Amino acid sequence: MLQLARLRVKLNDMRTALFVAGLLAHVLSTPARGQDTYAISGTLVTGSEILMSGTMLVRNGRIEAIGAKVKVPPGVTRIALEGVVFPGLVDVHNHLTWNVLPHWSLPHIVKNRYEWQSMSEYAARLENPRNQLFAAGRGCDMQRFAEVKALLGGATSTLGSLGATAVEPQRNKCVEGLARNLDVFSGLYSEQLNSEPLRYVTAPLELDWKEVASLRDGLASGSLRSAIFHVSEGVDAASRREFAMFKAQGLLRSGATIVHGVALQAPDFEEMAVRGVGLVWSPRSNRELYGRTADIRAAKAANVQMAIAPDWSPTGSSGMLAELREAARWNVSNGSLLSDTELLAMVTSNPARLAGVADRVAALKPGMMADFIVLAARGGSPIRALLESIPSSLRLIAVGGRPILGDISLLRRFDPAGPFQTLSVCGRTVGLDAKEQLGGDSWASITNRLDAALRQAGLGLATLDECQ
């Protein structure tokens, strides 16, 4: 009996393994609905080089070949693209569900995050309306609105997504399908919701010792590829003190990344570089809240690996492209400290490395996921199309080979059958090819529900982009 029971357990294990393997193959291939195989040609910025007249062959959601002389098999659809193709941008600092709330201009700048979080205006404009939306069961609507907003901003991967709760472990199932949610469901390593090898921590100093030990052990053993922590968000001595406290927790170690670091000074950055700890820079939100941003000159001098990300739209940029514009403006007024290629890396390969996903996304090369964006050409070189983008620059965005959002005429070349939903962004009509990713719901009903609920709070729904 015992042997029979053991055999049954083994068979069950095998069945589970086969089932999981099947699911994994399905998820990791992420086939495009229109066409599983196609070739795009045009100006391609691969990450490491610029192909002025290149071709990229995409099959079952991955890049099969890319180069100046790619042989396209007979019968495969060829799509010549105007503009410039880049890897999809990787956002490693966001708080997605807050991005339904309109921009909040503080009455005055503050010294640290605790100051604005204790303002009555913060409660009235942001915290309370968000809690009311959750209480009304609008969590998935908020997440989907924010993911479309992130895609419009050029991000194919993002984080700070709707999470699970102990009572509702599947509450965030709706995150599957649009952008990659690096903290809860990326579709890169596992088919299982809420099992990503990445932790995103907004208040590391509030963790109990067990949670700290688990993060430390996870990073040491490699079971966690990445842990991203908010530290030193402010300009005063107390904010800098957080760095010492974080270090005392044993978290200043390889695989960890610090978000903000506004109060950090040269010796702190030197220590981060030695220990392999990265920095996420969010210049717009820092400027609006604290009147200045992290000391990027010192971080660069220390050779800290840096990424750029928007934080959230209530006090930051609406998306990655807008935040990159802010960073590029800062760069010009700071003696062009960062080169164009460094800025490109700060929204693609650097954040991908910090998030532990550089083996799958953020570069256009064979074997990688076909996550890419197409931008209208601007400026004197292909990379300037990224650094000088305007809200109407985004022509197309594809995740796992599947074009989700963009110009309707372009979407139709990948998926002639459609039909597409439409969004209005800064007076322009953009197509959305994502009916099933929205749970069969329509974009109009999602935004109408959110807008009606937020009007009751005296606000109204946030815009998808800033048109100025």
- Binding residues for Zn ion (CB under 5 A): 311
Identify which of 294, 270, 269 has the alpha carbon closest to the alpha carbon of residue 284. Answer: 294
Nearer to Zn ion, 199 or 413 (CB): 199
Name the phi and psi angles at 278, rounded to 5: -90, 175
Nearer to Zn ion, 95 or 402 (CB): 95
How far apart CA 364 and CA 297 sit, in angstroms, is 29
364 contacts 344 by C-beta, under 8 angstroms: no
**CB 246, min distance to Zn ion, A:** 15
284 contacts 311 by C-beta, under 8 angstroms: yes
Nearer to Zn ion, 185 or 281 (CB): 281
Would the CA dihedral through 365, 413, 402, 228 be positive or negative?
Answer: positive
How far apart CA 48 and CA 292 sit, in angstroms, is 32
**CB 282, min distance to Zn ion, A:** 7
**CB 259, min distance to Zn ion, A:** 6
Identify which of 345, 250, 318, 326 has the alpha carbon closest to the alpha carbon of residue 284. Answer: 326
205 contacts 246 by C-beta, under 8 angstroms: yes
466 contacts 391 by C-beta, under 8 angstroms: yes
Nearer to Zn ion, 35 or 112 (CB): 112
SS3 track for 51-103:
EEEEEEEEECCEEEEEECCCCCCCCCEEEEEEEEEEECEECCCCCHHHHHCCC
429 contacts 464 by C-beta, under 8 angstroms: no
What are the structure tokens assigned to 238, written together?
């107390």
Nearer to Zn ion, 350 or 389 (CB): 350
Nearer to Zn ion, 8 or 292 (CB): 292
How far apart CA 191 and CA 354 sit, in angstroms, is 22
**CB 258, min distance to Zn ion, A:** 11
Q: Establish how many alpha carbons lie within 13 A of residue 320's alpha carbon, considering only the half-sphere containing its beta carbon.
A: 32
**CB 312, min distance to Zn ion, A:** 6
Nearer to Zn ion, 141 or 311 (CB): 311
**CB 285, min distance to Zn ion, A:** 8
**CB 107, min distance to Zn ion, A:** 21
Nearer to Zn ion, 20 or 238 (CB): 238
Distance (Å) of CA 380 to CA 184, 385, 396:
39, 8, 21
**CB 230, min distance to Zn ion, A:** 5
Q: Establish how many alpha carbons lie within 13 A of residue 210's alpha carbon, considering only the half-sphere containing its beta carbon.
A: 0
**CB 231, min distance to Zn ion, A:** 11
Nearer to Zn ion, 51 or 277 (CB): 277
Burial 236-263 (b: 16+ CB within 10 A, else e): beebbebbeebbebebbeebbbbbbbbb
Nearer to Zn ion, 314 or 400 (CB): 314
Residues pairing with 374 in the sheet: 85, 396
138 contacts 441 by C-beta, under 8 angstroms: no
Nearer to Zn ion, 58 or 184 (CB): 184
**CB 71, min distance to Zn ion, A:** 46
**CB 262, min distance to Zn ion, A:** 12
Alpha-carbon torsion angle 301, 304, 306, 310, nearest 10: -90
